[in-house]
Amino acid sequence: MPPPHGPLSPPARLWLLAQDTGRPAVEDAAPAQRLVRAGALAELVRLGLLVDDDGIVTPADLDSRTGDAVLDGLLDLVRESLPHGWRTWVRLRARLTSDAAREQLVVRGWLRAERKRVFGVFPSVDHRLASPERVAALRDGTRRVLYGPVPAEEVGERDAAVAALAGAARPRALTGGARRAPSGERIDRLAGRAAGPPDAPRIVRELCAALAPAATGAAARV
C-alpha cells in the first residue's frame, strides 16, 4: 500500500510506529519523541552528515542540507549546540524533532490536524491518523522484520535500522500485549546492517541502547 505523498523518512516511520491505531488521539510522550530523534540521528549518520568524533556527535560540515525539514532541523540544532554524545542527543530537546516529524506527516497526508478551542477560548490542535489501516500495515511490516524468519542479513539497510531502533524502544503499539519482546540478538544483527560509514553499526547499536526501557527510565530519573 503506497504512502499518500512519497516515501517516509526513518524518523517519520518511527513516529507512526509509536502510534496505537486503536486509539483516536496520537501518542507524543517522551519515549516516542526519543525514538523519533534516534531515527533522525541514524539517518544523518547514514547520509554522512553526522560523524563520531571520539564519542561526540559532530557535523561533517557546516553547510550541507538534506532537503528534509526534520533532518535539517536536527542538523542545525547540533551545529548550534554544545558538544554531546549520542545518548544525550537521543533525549536532548527530542520534542523538536518529533514535532517536525508530526508536521511533515500532516503535510504528506498521514495525519489530520483538527483545530479546536479548549474551554471555548484557547486555540489547540488535535492530531489523528488519517488512515489507521496504512499505519497498521507499516507496523505489521516492521513486526515481520523484528520477529519474522527472514535472516537479518537479507533485510534492507534502512528497514533494518528502523526495526532495530523500534525493537529496542519497544513502543506498546509495536510490541505490547501478549507479544514477546524482540530478541536482543535479532536487534543487534539488524543494527549491524546499518548503512553509512564503517562505524555506523556501532552508532546504531549505541542509539538502541539509549532507547532501551531501562536506559530511558534511568535518564528520566537524572
Residues 105-120 have pLDDT tens digits of: 999 999 998 776 555 6
- Does residue 139 fall inside a structural domain? yes
- Does residue 101 fall inside a structural domain? yes
What span, in angstroms and rounded, lies between the C-alpha atoms of 121 and 99? 23
Using a 10 angstrom Cβ sphere, with 0-12 exposed, 13-18 middle and 19 or more buried, the burial of residue 138 is buried
pTM assigned to the model: 0.90
- Does residue 2 fall inside a structural domain? no
- Does residue 113 fall inside a structural domain? yes
Q: At what angle do helices 69-80 and 10-17 cross, to 10 degrees?
A: 100
Reported as a single tens digit per residue, the pLDDT across 99-158 is 999 999 999 999 998 776 555 656 667 889 999 999 999 999 999 999 988 999 999 999
Q: Identify the residue whose cell numbers are 524502544.
A: 169
- Does residue 5 fall inside a structural domain? no
Number of domains, the chain:
1
- Does residue 4 fall inside a structural domain? no
Mean pLDDT value across residues 19-41: 89
- Does residue 201 fall inside a structural domain? yes
- Does residue 119 fall inside a structural domain? yes
What span, in angstroms and rounded, lies between the C-alpha atoms of 83 and 13? 27
Q: Which domain holds residue 194?
A: 10-221
Three-state DSSP state, 83: coil
